[in-house]
A and B are shown apart, each in its own frame.
Chain A
Amino acid sequence: MGSPANKSYSAPFFIRRGVVYNDIMQRFLFALMICACLEGRASQWVELTRRIGRSDADHRQAVAALKKIKGLEAELITALSGPDKYLALEVISELHLKGTLPRLLELAPTDENGAIYLTLSSLIDPTNAQSLERIFHGQLLRATAEGRSDVVKVILLDTLARFQTSLDVNLLHTLFVSPSPEVRHAVLYYLSLQPRARPELVKRFVELGEQDPTELVRARARALKGGPP
C-alpha cells in the first residue's frame, strides 16, 4: 500500500496511459480498416472491369456488379489521375456515367493517347450530342493548330464523321498535308461517311489521295471513288 498521494498519482496515470494507448490503437486499427475497405473496393471495381472483356456472361455479371458499387463514380473520377486510368475509362464507357463528363472534358486537352476522347465519344447521347459535337470540332481545330498527336486527330475526325459534322475545306486540306498517312486516310474516311459531302470536294480529295505515296491512302481514295479496293 503506498501513500494516498502516490495512489492518486499512479492510478490515474496508468489509466490515462491505457486510455491514450487504447485510443491510439483504436485510431490505428480504424485507419487500417478504412484503408483495407478502400483498397478492397478499389480492387473490386478494377477486378470486375478486367472481367468485362471475357465472355458475354462474364460481361453481364461484371456490369451488374459494377452498377451495385456505391460511390463508384467518385472513385472513378479519382482513378482518372492514377495508374488505373484506362480501366476507369472503360467503366465510364460501359456504365455510361455522364456525371464524369466535366472531369473528362477538363482532362481531354492533355490527352495524347486519345483514350479520354474515345470515352467522351462513347458518352454521346441525344441530350448532349450538340454540345459534344461543338467541343469535338473545337478540339480538332486546336489539335491541328497545336500539332497534337496523330491518334488524337484521327479519333476526333472519326467522331465528327459519326456526327456527320460539316468540316471546313481548309481544315481538311491542312489535315491532308499531315506527314502521317493515318491522318490523311482519316480525312478520306471522314468523307466516305458524309452522304451530303459535295461531289466536287470528294473528287478533289480522291485525286489527291490517288497520288499519295502510301497504298493505305491510295486504296481508300479508290474505294471513295467507287472503284475496286
Chain B
Amino acid sequence: MKRWFYLAVAMALLALGLNFLFYRFLPPVRIGETPPPQEFLSTQKARQTAFTLPAQNREKSACYRAYQKLFRSPTLRLRIAFGYKDSRPSRFVGDRYERLMLIHYLISPCVAGQWACGFTRDKNDADLFLKEGVELRVTHSSVGPDDEVNRKDPLQAVQSALSEANFLDGVKGADVVFYNGHSRDGGGPDFAPPRLTPAHSVDYTWYMTNRPGEKKLLATLAGKKDPLVLGLFSCRSGDHFLAEIEKQARVATISSQRLYFYSDALRSTLEALNALLGRWCEEDFHDALNPKDGFGRARLKSFF
C-alpha cells in the first residue's frame, strides 16, 4: 500500500516538474498572435552587413557608404504600394489580400535574422507602420475581391488614387519605394481597374501604346536629386521600365527580367525590405532577392 502511495507522489512530482519545464521553456501561445508562416520571409542570416563590417576600414566599403546615404535622416521613409492586381479573364482581384499577408509579417515579433517585422501599427492611420527610425506606408488599390463589383463601387476611384499617391509621393520624397503589381506590358504601374477591350480582356495594345503609368512615374522622377531605392516587383519590370528610368534620374532600382507569380513577387518584396532594413551587403542582398527555390531573378542596381 505504502509503495503505491510513494509511486503516486513520485508521479505527481514528475508531472509538476514537466509542467514547469514546458511553461518555462516553451514560448507562450497568445490568442490573436498567430505567427505568419515562413514561406515569404526566410530566417537566413546575412554573412555581411553594414553593421558587421570591421570599424577600422568600413568607411571605404561601398556597402557601408550606401547605407550611410540611405539612412542619412533620423527616420527612414518607406512606401509599399500594391497596384490593382486583377486576374483577367477571371474577376478575382488579389492586392487587398496580398497587402494583408504582408502586414501579417510586418506586425509579427521579430526572430533572429529578420528585420521586416516588429512594426507597430498607427491607430488612426490604417496604412502607417512604425518602428524605431523607420516609417512605412503600405497601400492597396482594390476595394474588394471582385473586379465587376469594384467597377461599380464609388470607393474604388478613391482607393486607386490613394495607392497611386502613396507611390508617386514616395518617389518624390521617400527613401525607398516598392511597387508590387502589374506591369501591363509597359503601361504600368497601374492602380485602377484595367482598361478592357470589347471582349472584356485587358487592352494591352492601349497600355503598350500609351504607357500611362510609366509617363506619370517618369514625370515624377524628372529632376530628382535625393537618393531613392525604387523597387518594381512586377513582371519583366527590367525590360519594360528600367531604360527609361535610368535616362530620367539616378536612382537605385530593383527590377526583374522575368515573369513574377504573385507569391514570388510578395516574397521578393519582403526579402528586399528585410535586406534593406538589416543593411545587408551586396552578395547577401542578391541572394535574398533570388532564393535558390525562388524564381523572380530580381536585381538591385546602382545602390552599392
Contact = CB atoms under 8 A, between A and B. Distances in A.
Interface of B: 30-37, 39-40, 87-90, 92, 94, 96-97, 100-101, 103-104, 121, 123-127, 143-146, 149, 153-155, 157-158, 185, 201-202, 204, 235, 259, 261-263, 293, 295
A147 B204 contact: no
A55 interface: yes
A195 interface: no
Contacts of B34: 112, 146-149
Contacts of A215: 125-126
A217 B31 CA distance: 24
A182 B149 CA distance: 18
Contacts of A148: 34
A56 interface: yes
B155 A151 contact: no
A86 B262 contact: yes
B104 A223 contact: no
A210 interface: no
Contacts of B154: 223, 228-229
Contact of A53 (B33, B87, B155): B87
Contacts of A150: 100, 103-104
Interface residues of A, number: 45
Interface in A179-229: 179, 181-182, 189, 193, 213-217, 219-220, 223, 228-229
A70 interface: no
A7 B96 CA distance: 81
Interface string A140-180: 00000011111100110010001000000000000000010
Contacts of A147: 30-34
B124 A55 contact: no
Nearest to A178: B32
A149 B123 CA distance: 18
B104 A83 contact: no
B144 A114 contact: no
Given A53-B261, A59-B89, A122-B92, A154 B100 contact: yes
Interface in A59-82: 59
Interface of A: 49-51, 53-56, 59, 83, 85-87, 90, 93, 112-115, 118, 122, 146-151, 154-155, 158, 162, 179, 181-182, 189, 193, 213-217, 219-220, 223, 228-229
A114 B92 contact: no
A56 B155 contact: no
B158 A113 contact: no
A151 B97 contact: yes
A83 B34 CA distance: 21
B144 A189 contact: yes
Nearest to A153: B100
Nearest to B88: A56
Nearest to A59: B89
A182 B107 CA distance: 14
B31 A223 contact: no
Contact of B126 (A49, A90, A182): A182
A112 B31 contact: no
Contacts of B204: 55
Contacts of B32: 147
B33 A213 contact: no
B106 to A, nearest CB: 12
A213 B124 contact: yes
Contacts of B31: 146-147
A219 B33 CA distance: 28
A56 B124 contact: no
A140 B204 CA distance: 39
15 contacts: A50-B259, A51-B259, A53-B261, A112-B36, A113-B101, A118-B92, A146-B31, A148-B34, A149-B104, A151-B104, A181-B126, A182-B103, A213-B124, A229-B155, A229-B158
